[in-house]
Amino acid sequence: MKSIHDCYTLNNGVQIPCVAFGTYKAAADESTKVIRLAIEAGYRYFDTASFYGTEKYLGEAIRESGIPRSEFFITSKVWKTEMGYEETKEAFARTLDNLGTDYLDQYLIHWPLPTPDYAEWKQLDVDTWKALEEFYKAGKVRSIGLSNFLPHHIENLLEHCEIAPMVDQLEYHPGYAQEAAVQYCKEHDILVQAWSPIGRGRMFGDPLFLELTEKYQVSPAKLCLRFAVQNGVIPLPKSSTAERMKENQDLFSFEISKEDMYRLRTMPQSGWSGEHPDRARVYEGIEKEIRN
């Protein structure tokens, strides 16, 4: 990969750029400003979700840009409260409407379980996936996939699905590289995307980070993003400023050595968001029932 526009080929042949722009909280001021900046900065692959409330702003920003829809790669996701066969059909229609488009490049199931104690999750995932398969077969979405699915969740789906998922979007950054899940996806030809690829900066003070940012003369954010790219994982960084948006694309002029890649992959857990599909969310060591 030599630029953010270079692509991987998904298991169905669709081309997907190697770096995206994340839109969670990218329209906190209820305007298209940040997303417009991201388009101007060169991003064409955008990650959104019904839960983020940014679909509408993304659609508007794309139309305002005057750049043809076909030049963009848009991913959205069905939220926990929208799962189920009929519910997902309604959610998908709302998403297309919010974005003002008649197709998506990618549609994902956002989480495998609506709540950690949801007993019937296996059937719910299968029903939800069936709706995604129908959108795919009808040509309304170019690729379908998962988010926050761990190997045991994916196994259930693979047992029952007609079309295998093309991607899985996981929390992924040095300090929380989910090796078992990433390895499983690689073995099953499922491309991994990294959410919170910068860990929202939570690992920046780690001694290994201090050493390697000095050694490679790069910012901690670039170290994280290059780490994902070198592992063949698509990072989805979000930023609010033009400077950071540019910085987060400048990932192709340095290379992390093999040895340092192993050190980053095996560093002690750091910067974890506290989210796990099978558990209540952990806030700095305290488990709470509220999850988002």
Q: Does 200 bind ligand NAP (CB under 6 A)?
A: yes
Q: For ligand NAP, give the closer residue by CB, 137 or 200.
A: 200
Nearer to ligand NAP by Cβ, of 59 and 197: the residue is: 197
> Per CB under 6 A, does 215 bind ligand NAP?
no
Binds ligand NAP (CB under 6 A): choice among 89, 244, 263, 265: 244
* The binder of ligand NAP chosen from 195, 229, 231, 256 (CB under 6 A): 195
198 binds ligand NAP (CB under 6 A): yes
Min separation Cβ 237 and ligand NAP, Å: 4
The dihedrals phi and psi of 234, each to the nearest 5 degrees, come to -90, 115
Is 176 labeled as catalytic in the residue annotation? no
> Looking at 84, 112, 175, 197, which residue binds ligand NAP (CB under 6 A)?
197
Instruction: Check binding of 145 to ligand NAP (CB under 6 A).
Output: no
Binding mask 67-86 for ligand NAP (x = CB under 6 A): --------------------
Which class for 138: exposed (0-12), middle (13-18), buried (19 or more C-beta within 10 A)?
exposed
Candidate residues 4, 10, 18, 23; the one interacting with ligand NAP per rule CB under 6 A: 23
Q: What is the DSSP annotation of 60-128? A: HHHHHHT--GGG-EEEEEE-GGG-SHHHHHHHHHHHHHHHT-S-BSEEEES-S-SSTT-TTHHHHHHHH
Give the active site residue among 43, 45, 52, 136: 52
Rule CB under 6 A: choose which of 240, 252, 280, 282 binds ligand NAP: 240
- Binding span for ligand NAP by CB under 6 A among 84-92, 98-106, 124-132, 196-204: 196-204
What is the number of other CB atoms lying within 10 angstroms of the CB of residue 168?
A: 26
Report in angstroms how near the CB of residue 147 gets to ligand NAP at its nearest: 4
Question: Half-sphere exposure of residue 278, counting CA atoms within 13 Å on the CB side?
Answer: 6
Q: Which residues bind ligand NAP (CB under 6 A)?
A: 22-24, 47, 110, 147-148, 169, 195-201, 219, 221, 236-241, 244, 247-248
